[in-house]
Amino acid sequence: MKKVNPELRQRIYELVNEFVQKVETEFQGESEDCVFPLMFRFFDLANQAYKDGKK
C-alpha cells in the first residue's frame, strides 16, 4: 500500500472530525435513522475521493 502524505492524512482527519461534529450539532435530538445514511454517504464519498486521488 502506498504511503499517504501525513499532511493530507491530517487534513482528511480534521475534515472528517468537523463533519461529524456538524452532524451531531445539526441533528441533535433527531432519530439515528436520519443521521446514519448521511454518515455512510459521506464516508462513501471520502473513500471515492481517496481512490480517485491515488490514480
Q: Give the pLDDT of residue 32.
A: 67
Q: Are 36 and 23 in contact (CB under 8 A)?
A: no
Per DSSP, helices labelled H in 2-54 are 6-26, 32-54
- Mean pLDDT in residue range 1-29: 79
The per-residue pLDDT for range 20-29, each reduced to its tens digit, is: 888 778 777 7
pTM of the model: 0.47
Domain boundaries, the chain: 30-54
Q: Are 46 and 12 in contact (CB under 8 A)?
A: yes
The per-residue pLDDT for range 27-51, each reduced to its tens digit, is: 777 666 777 777 788 888 888 877 8
Q: Are 54 and 2 in contact (CB under 8 A)?
A: yes
